Amino acid sequence: MCYLWDQNMRAIRYHKPGGSGKLQIDEINQPEPGPNEVLVKTRAVSVNPVDLVIRNSSHTNHPKTIGSDIAGEVESIGDDVTTFQVGDRVFATGLHAGHFSRGSFADYVLIPIDLLSSLPKDVSFEHGAAIALVGVTAWRAFIHHTNINPGDTVLIHGGNGGVGHIAIQIASLIGATVIATSRRKHHSILSDLGADYVFDYTSNDLGQEIKSNCNGVDVILDSHPQQYICLNTELLNLNGDIVIINGAETIIPDITSMRQKEIDLHMMSMTNLVIHQNLPDIGSVLKEIGQLMSNSQLTVRIHREYSLESADEAYSFLQENSVLGKVVVKP
């Protein structure tokens, strides 16, 4: 083990809730790994919309280090750790959630081993950090929640987003017919990623365009349920599934129509993977995702990279632009 506990490190933190301009670089003590924890030297982290939600929350303890994802190298290990060694390449997510919410935007990050997986040698740190949270989210939606089958028709709202463009690839790998929505400028790339149909979500006739090309939908992945919940119900076949992410304020205006179609509604939360022991470990899902990337069956697109000092700018870019894939930050 490598003990360097007297050293300081940089961490990108906010000291009160709020939007742009609230992040600052703090010098804090480098942490020491406890039992079943490892200390990771950060090589790359990535930006996620959930970070902004937590950043604006008044229920978070402050100061707080921002960030969910990380890829790097094991610097030191705690007691009882046998699955990782110093120098291992790793990636992790869930660092924003539950009882372990220490964040990832720092020179060194303390991580419980159940949130961690080895990163294949042929997958870069940047791509490992970019895919972690969105990969686990898409995997849970289609493998753990809906168990989509070959031949199913899947609709993915916001196919250009972090979760969306990974979900397209996972659904395509399974053998589903994939429908995605995005701005028109992203259509050709989403088709290359595996979408069979791509529609402009700004269209006033979105529902009719989808109906004209597809004979109903079996599974829908939606990160904007307030906007699409009625359309989703209209498009779904009998016994269809809706998986909602980022839906804390969702209101279902027409429960009768959903009941008539016997629609299953899945409300996903990454926090549950951290706090509930009976759910799959994040690390086990990351292992599957890493293997798919190593086999060139799954890729994550990096739209732009920033330095750690420019983290606030990276989050502003995510908020203000139609991003294709992910935004990555490097120390």
pLDDT at 239 over 70: yes
- If asked whether residues 94 and 161 sit together in one domain, one would say no
**Residue 49 falls inside a structural domain:** yes
CATH of the domain at 105: 3.90.180.10
- If asked whether residues 78 and 89 sit together in one domain, one would say yes
- If asked whether residues 102 and 184 sit together in one domain, one would say no
**Residue 281 falls inside a structural domain:** yes
Percent pLDDT > 70 in the chain is 91
- If asked whether residues 260 and 165 sit together in one domain, one would say yes
* Predicted confidence (pLDDT) per residue in 106-144, tens digit: 999 999 999 999 999 999 999 999 999 999 999 999 999
CATH of the domain at 150: 3.40.50.720
Structural domain boundaries, residue 239: 134-268
Per-residue confidence (pLDDT) for residue 108, from 0 to 100 = 97
Q: Which of 218, 251, 268 is the last residue of a domain?
A: 268
| Number of separate domains in the chain | 2
Comparison of pLDDT for 3 and 225, the residue scoring more: 225
Per DSSP, helices labelled H in the chain are: 49-55, 125-139, 162-174, 187-193, 206-213, 225-235, 255-260, 270-275, 282-294, 311-320
Q: Which of 220, 243, 268 is the last residue of a domain?
A: 268
State the Cα angle at 140 between 138 and 142, rounded to 5°: 70
- If asked whether residues 127 and 59 sit together in one domain, one would say yes
- If asked whether residues 169 and 241 sit together in one domain, one would say yes
Would you say the C-alpha torsion 246, 248, 253, 254 has a positive or negative sign? positive
Q: How far is CA 11 from CA 24, 329, 331, in A?
A: 8, 13, 10
**Residue 3 falls inside a structural domain:** no
Q: Taking the model in full, what pTM does it have?
A: 0.93
Q: How far is CA 197 from CA 11, 154, 155, 201, 225, in A?
A: 42, 10, 9, 12, 21
